[in-house]
Structure 1
Amino acid sequence: MADVAFYRDEALPFLEAKRCSKSDLAYQKHFHEEHSLGLIDEGETQAWCEGMLWRVESGRMINFPPHMLHACQPAENADWKYRMLFIKPEWLERMELPRLNKLQIPFLLEDGKNEACRKRFNRTMDSLVRNESSLEIETALIELVHMLIMKHESDQAHEPHGASERKYVNRVKEYIHAHYKDRITLEQLEQETGATRYHLIRSFKKSTHLPPHAYQNLLRINHAKIELRKRRPIAEIAVDAGYYDQSHFTKAFARIVGATPQTYAVSV
């Protein structure tokens, strides 16, 4: 595995991920055009930000707004592994996020919020590394940014859910039912409903208790079960259901059904 690796999804040009396990890699003063979120997986580093030093330990996240000058120096004689997400500011602006200005300063999160954001950071990174659907990757990213800007995790329970939100949810459901085999993106859902993708995710999850990509995956798996009972080849069903390979299909199927497609097929 390379010491430094980058990950992208061509349908999501506003997002790039980086993984680094090179312990002797230090960075001179620099800035990024993107909004940068970092997570230290092992070791610790001294992060210099416009004249101030921040000690960032293993398990901690740090945020750098676009064009903020910073530098990082890992601790001596310690393994240093970290991951970064780079988000173009144009995407954040399109989200029409409340309290977006909360992301405009460098910060280390308090323990409870750091843990909540770390879980969502890992989910976003893992989805991108595993080449999950664009819908799943961007949904995970929105959930991460939402958690970063929330004052309290309980804020989520008080979000309104009126007639307009139900209309959006119903339209999203209709679209997913009609296109569940396709590679759906949040941009497409945004165009279909006229609502921002940020509000679509919040409304859909509040109504159905699932994000759109999980709802789509259930439709795909239910379709696959029907086709497996017809004794069709598993690889053929995987492609037909919208999965990019049989391995990905098998993992998704087992998570929902509790058995592999092969086990399910020979049992019917």
Structure 2
Amino acid sequence: MPDVIFYRDQALPFLEAKRCLKSDFAYQKHFHEEYSIGLIDKGETYAWCDGTMHRVEEGRMISFPPMMLHACHPEEGANWSYKMLFIKQDWLQGLKQHELDGLHIPFLLEKGKNKACRIHINRTMEALTGAGSPLEIETSLIELIQSVVSWNDSDFTHKRHNNRQDRKYVNLVKEYLHENYTEKITLDDLERITDISKFHLIRLFKQSSNMPPHAYQNLLRINHAKTELMKNLRPIADIAAEAGFYDQSHFSRTFSKIVGATPQKYVISM
């Protein structure tokens, strides 16, 4: 495996991910034009941020605003690896201004917030490196940013009362997903049909449905596939493609997580 790997999705030009396994590589002073946020997976490093030195241990997250000068210096012989996301500023403008104010970096996340954000950055990386859909990748990224800018841990689980207008937006999304679940849907599509911010939309949908839109779409796809598999008339690969999965292995993994058996076992058991 290469020491440094970059990941991108053409449908999401505002996002780039990096995974680094160079355990003894020190970065000289530099800055990024994007907002950057990373997680130390193994080992530790010293991060110099605009004149201040921070010790960043395994499991800790750190982020930098655009154009902030910084450098990273792992200890000699350290077994150091990390992942980093680079997010273009124009995408972040979708956040409300008071939320953007929370991105005052250099920023070492602490305790509950660090734990919550670590879950979300790992989900974003898993979706991007595992060829997840654009809807899944961007949703995970939004949940990460929302966790970063939350003022306290209770923000992660806070639910506000859903009014009639909120339910209207959620119903619009569900109707669209039911009509187009085999298609490659993006958050831009959902933003367009509801005419509300994708950041706000993710909150409303999760509060109402207890899952993000991409997970709801996958349920619709799997239920469709189960119906077709029960007929036992066509190859599994054809059904996977028809349901909207990019390949059979992706279909099999998703099917197993939801049904508890692979598509092959599901067919045999009938």
- Do these two structures clear the TM 0.5 threshold for a shared fold by scoring above it? yes
Instruction: For residue 25 of structure 1, report the CA deviation from its aligned partner.
Output: 1.4
Distance 1:218-1:43 versus aligned 2 partners, 3 A rule = same
Kept in 2: contact 1:98–1:149 (CA 8 A): no
Instruction: Determine the structure 1 residue equivalent to 2:202.
Output: 201
Kept in 1: contact 2:7–2:17 (CA 8 A): yes
Unpaired segments ≥5 residues, structure 1: none
Report the 3-state secondary structure (helix = DSSP H, G, I; strand = E; otherwise coil) of the residue aligned with 1:95: coil
The runs of at least 4 consecutive aligned structure 1 residues that moved more than 6 Å come to none
Report the 3-state secondary structure (helix = DSSP H, G, I; strand = E; otherwise coil) of the residue aligned with 1:66: coil
Instruction: For residue 98 of structure 1, report the CA deviation from its aligned partner.
Output: 4.0
Instruction: For residue 158 of structure 1, report the CA deviation from its aligned partner.
Output: 4.1
Instruction: Determine the structure 1 residue equivalent to 2:4.
Output: 4
Q: With the length of structure 1 as denominator, give the TM-score of the two structures.
A: 0.97
RMSD of equivalent CA atoms: 1.1
Aligned-partner residue type, residue 258 of structure 1: G
Instruction: Determine the structure 1 residue equivalent to 2:166.
Output: 165
| Residues 47-62 of structure 1: pairs in structure 2 closer than 5 A | 47-62=47-62
Q: Deviations over 1:60-98 (max 9, x none)?
A: 100100000101111111111011000111111113264
Instruction: For residue 167 of structure 1, report the CA deviation from its aligned partner.
Output: 1.0
Q: With the length of structure 2 as denominator, give the TM-score of the two structures.
A: 0.96
Instruction: Determine the structure 2 residue equivalent to 1:255.
Output: 257
Instruction: For residue 99 of structure 1, report the CA deviation from its aligned partner.
Output: 2.6
What CA distance in whole angstroms lies between the structure 1 residues aligned with 2:125 and 2:54? 24
Number of corresponding residues: 268
Matched, 1:25 2:25: yes
Distance 1:15-1:256 versus aligned 2 partners, 3 A rule = same
Report the 3-state secondary structure (helix = DSSP H, G, I; strand = E; otherwise coil) of the residue aligned with 1:243: coil
Unpaired segments ≥5 residues, structure 2: none
Distance 1:95-1:102 versus aligned 2 partners, 3 A rule = closer
Alignment match of 2:240 (pick from 235, 238, 241)? 238
| Higher alpha-carbon deviation: 21-30 or 184-193 | 21-30
Identity of aligned residues (%): 62
Instruction: Determine the structure 2 residue equivalent to 1:123.
Output: 123
| Residues 125-144 of structure 1: pairs in structure 2 closer than 5 A | 125-144=125-144
Q: Deviations over 1:215-255 (max 9, x none)?
A: 00000000000100111210000100000000000010010
Distance 1:17-1:168 versus aligned 2 partners, 3 A rule = same
What CA distance in whole angstroms lies between the structure 2 residues aligned with 1:108 and 1:47? 10
